[in-house]
Chains A and B, each alone.
Chain A
Amino acid sequence: MVRRFAALLLILALGAVFLPLFLAYHPDTSLNPTALYYAERTAQDLGAANIVTAIVVTYRGLDTLGEVTVLFLSAAIVGLVLARDRLTPRPHTRVPAGELLTTGSRLLAPLIMLLGVYIFSNGHLTPGGGFQGGAVIASGVLLLLLADPERRFGHRIIGFIESLSGVAYVLIGLAGLYYAGGFLDNRILPTGQVGQLFSAGAIPLIYSLIGLKVGSEFSSILADLSETEEL
């Protein structure tokens, strides 16, 4: 009871912090200088149609590299924490998945993965990108795991795709340092015409690599969690 009361008190204090923030909120009527810069310069400087993508991949590309690293770190720690349990063989007492799930996953999983590839390769044109596409690819992997929990994915292949795309991402960033304006500058390739698939310089390339990396990281987390399911 005391514990619950203390928690309530803390939440009320936090609410008291939020209340003035909420009351003092006035919606902007025009973009702030940072957003205005991005809105004005993205199309002519970078050639990307999706301004959010331009911010994520180019203007704040270093931030995104760090974020992909954090994701890699969490995937690696999940693998490390669950590592020992994977060695012990489990008893085969499973009920097989239903006919609908098995057949449906056979039909849907390739389509879902194709959709993921579409989403990350069109990240500079549509509201998609590497993170969304990677998550969609991992959802295809999740469907396969649901249909057949005994299925084993090659950790070696997942790890290979993951590290290869990570290394290529950094190399493209370094190429920007020598051939364009700075680290992760997308103008190492021609920016082309806004709205075309092959435009925005290296952004589609970088976002595809991010998509592969995020997809393989999520897939490895799912595989790790699935393989330690039995207790």
Chain B
Amino acid sequence: MAQISLATGFLLILIGFYGALTQRNLMRMIVGFTIADSGVNLVIVAIGYMHGRTAPIIDSTLPAGEAPARIIDPVPQALVLTAIVIGVGVTALMLAYAYKLYQAKRTLDISTFTELKW
């Protein structure tokens, strides 16, 4: 089970980076980056998954004493929780820059931005 999500995550990273590298449109590049971002999150969560265990929340069905034997690894989940939020912030930043670039050249085609090309 975890292997499937792990493979999906790695695949999403590859697809996302391929898209970001080959696409000419800034919007499509940003979509590529967000796909890669989801892939990374999926990989981290999949690593913390353990078969037959439950979510790391103590309640009536999961007494505190049984937690070490019955919960999945909570650390990757905490890491992904923060990574998702940072991902949103980075995406918003990319969109703002894309807007500014569009304003400068009236196009989103990356090949028209040649000022920093060597």
Query: Which residues in A have some Cβ–Cβ distance to B below 8 Å?
Result: 3-4, 7-8, 10-11, 14-15, 18, 21-22, 25, 27-29, 31-32, 34-36, 38-40, 42-44, 49-52, 55-56, 60, 63-64, 67, 70-71, 73-75, 77-78, 81-82, 85, 125-127, 129, 131, 135, 194-195, 214, 217-218, 221, 224-225, 228, 231
Looking at the assembled complex, report how far the CB atom of B91 sits from the nearest CB atom of chain A, in whole angstroms.
9
Complex Cα spacing A15 to B16, Å: 12
- Asked if A131 contacts B57 (CB within 8 A), the reply is no
The interface residues of chain A, by DSSP majority, are classed as: helix
Cβ B56 vs Cβ A14 within 8 A: no
Complex contact B18–A11 (CB within 8 A):
yes
**Knowing A29-B50, A70-B89, A127-B55 touch, does A34 contact B21 (C-beta < 8 A)?**
no
| Structural contact, B57 and A74, CB atoms closer than 8 A | no
Known: A25-B6, A39-B68, A78-B93. A195 touches B59 (CB 8 A): yes
By a CB distance below 8 angstroms, the chain A residues around B21 are 7, 10-11
25 A-B pairs in the complex with CB atoms less than 8 angstroms apart:
A3-B22, A14-B17, A15-B14, A21-B10, A27-B51, A31-B68, A35-B74, A42-B64, A43-B67, A50-B58, A51-B56, A51-B58, A52-B56, A52-B78, A52-B81, A55-B74, A71-B86, A75-B89, A75-B92, A125-B57, A126-B57, A127-B57, A135-B88, A218-B88, A225-B99
- Complex-state Cα separation, A63 to B95, whole angstroms: 26
Closest beta carbon of chain A to B56's beta carbon, Å: 4
- Residue from B17, B73, B81, B89 within 8 A of A32 (CB atoms): B73
Question: Contacts A7-B22, A74-B93 known; A67 to B86 CB distance under 8 Å?
Answer: yes
Instruction: Classify the secondary structure of B's interface with A.
Output: helix
Known contacts A52-B74, A75-B89, A127-B55; can you find 9 more A-B pairs with CB under 8 A?
A: A35-B74, A39-B67, A42-B64, A67-B85, A74-B93, A81-B96, A194-B58, A195-B59, A225-B99
Given the known inter-chain contacts A18-B13, A27-B51, please indicate yes or no for A50 contacting B2, CB distance below 8 A: no
Q: Is the CB of A18 within 8 A of B14?
A: yes
Chain B residues whose C-beta falls within 8 Å of the C-beta of A44 in the assembled complex? 64
B113 to chain A, nearest CB (A): 15
Docked-complex contact A225 and B55, CB < 8 angstroms? no
> Hey, which chain B residues are within 8 Å of A195, CB to CB?
58-60
Residue among B22, B50, B77, B78 having the largest count of chain A Cβ atoms under 10 Å: B78
**Are B97 and A81 within 8 A (Cβ)?**
yes
User: How far is it, in angstroms, between the C-alpha of A27 and the C-alpha of B90 when the chains are bound?
Assistant: 31
Quick one: given A11-B21, A40-B67, A51-B57, are A131 and B49 in contact (CB under 8 Å)?
Answer: no
- Beyond A52-B78, A129-B81, whether A8 also contacts B18 by CB under 8 A is yes
B contact residues around A21 at 8 Å (CB): 10
Q: Name the CB-closest residue of B to A25.
A: B6
